[in-house]
Amino acid sequence: MIPTLEWTDKGVNFLDQTKLPLEETYVLATTYQDVATVIRDMIVRGAPAIGVSAGMGMALAVQKSPATTVDALLKDVDEAAAVLAATRPTAVNLFWGIERIRTLVRKLAASQPADRSDADKLKAITDEVIAEANRMYDEDIAACKTMGQFGADLLPKKGTVLTHCNAGALATCGYGSALGVIRAAVERGHVIDVLADETRPFLQGARLTAWELMKDNIPTSVLCDNMSGALMRQGRIQAVIVGADRIAANGDVANKIGTYTVAVLAKEHGIPFYVAAPWATVDMATKHGDDIPIEQRNAYEVTHSNGKQMTPDGVGIENPAFDVTPAKYVTGIITERGVLYPPYDDTMLAMQAEVNAA
Ligand code: MRU
């Protein structure tokens, strides 16, 4: 399995996704500030991977805190949460990962026996938090595998599947969400060719999706972002599957910029458009996709390619990193708890009730 990120005795080790596919190098984050940089600079990216990285960053904050009392530790943890939360605004998994550890730390702090020494309390909290961060990692891989089982038969027995961005092993702790569903279908004997949109400007499709699917010998071709409409019109695409960065309570989906265009084209051509995402990507507190914050990234990503300037000096630049696909374009949402179908207002609420009851 591709080692996207890993907790080690020395810190959190990240496969540097900015260097792929030409170099497989690692970046070791030894502090939560390092983890924040790794997330902001997209050394690690993809909503589920960002969520678990944030959880591990919080665990590093606890482990490396100079605090000598539980109260001082709580302050340090809040500070780390604020720094990590300021890295990337769109993927709700980031905030899920931070809050999962922060809530645990508070609970553990409140439940320490009064007769324990401060040092013993801090050690007990640290051990539990590191174990929790590693559980988040294991759960993410398990969720991807389960999504694969739920989604595999939604893909054609034989045909071409288009994907946008990278929702694969590299965007999760392993196996992938959208690419996990493709992997599971292939494991079941489906004969699938993958078309990977190159995904300008960061090229997650051309660099990352192509790299990881080729490692698994899944036939893959890269196409420029403006080509899929023509291929759909020629009947060359049987299904589309993508990941998500945040799903609103009405089923609107924020994902990598360009997803909306693909979804509208798919509907026009009668092609099913699936979203695969763990439940941690669902944000029931956000009622409508228009309320999802969209990250605006640096103009340099658009003006330059591989360090070479592509646009005239001084030209205006747009670089929204994500867009919102209204629920009406989404055929189904594959989660580790099952597949949701429209009307999403109702089906998402029902699944949330199941989650609350579990
Ligand atoms: O900017 P990125 O590379 O973090 O964006 C990633 C995506 O948009 C993915 O499609 C999404 O996070 C789902 S990953 C399973």
DSSP state of 208: I
Residue minimizing CA distance to atom 8 of ligand 1: 256
Q: Is the peptide bond before 343 cis (omega within 30 degrees of 0)?
A: yes
Q: What is the ipTM of this complex?
A: 0.99
Distance CA 200, CA 203 (A): 5
Q: Cα-atom radius of gyration of the chain, to the nearest Å?
A: 21
Distance CA 238, CA 236 (A): 7
Contact 181, 151 (CB under 8 A): yes
| Residue 245: active-site member | yes
Contact 240, 272 (CB under 8 A): yes
* Tokens of residue 274, six digits: 């699936």
Q: Please give the helix or strand (H or E) that residue 194 lies within, else none.
A: strand 191-197
Q: Which residues have C-beta atoms less than 6 Å from ligand 1? A: 45-48, 91, 165, 167, 171-172, 177, 204, 242-245, 255-256, 321
Which atom of ligand 1 lies nearest, measured to the CA of 48? 15
Q: Residue-wise pLDDT tens for the chain (358 aa)?
A: 788 999 999 999 999 999 999 999 999 999 999 999 999 999 999 999 999 999 999 999 999 999 999 999 999 999 999 999 999 999 999 999 999 999 999 999 999 999 999 999 999 999 999 999 999 999 999 999 999 999 999 999 999 999 999 999 999 999 999 999 999 999 999 999 999 999 999 999 999 999 999 999 999 999 999 999 999 999 999 999 999 999 999 999 999 999 999 999 999 999 999 999 999 999 999 999 999 999 999 999 999 998 999 999 999 999 999 999 999 999 999 999 999 999 999 999 999 999 999 8
Residue 200, annotated as binding a ligand? no
Contact 187, 271 (CB under 8 A): no
Contact 181, 155 (CB under 8 A): yes
* Tokens of residue 133, six digits: 């961060």
Distance CA 140, CA 133 (A): 11
Q: Is 222 helix (H, G, I), strand (E, B) or coil?
A: strand
Which atom of ligand 1 lies nearest, measured to the CA of 178? 15
Distance CA 173, CA 52 (A): 8
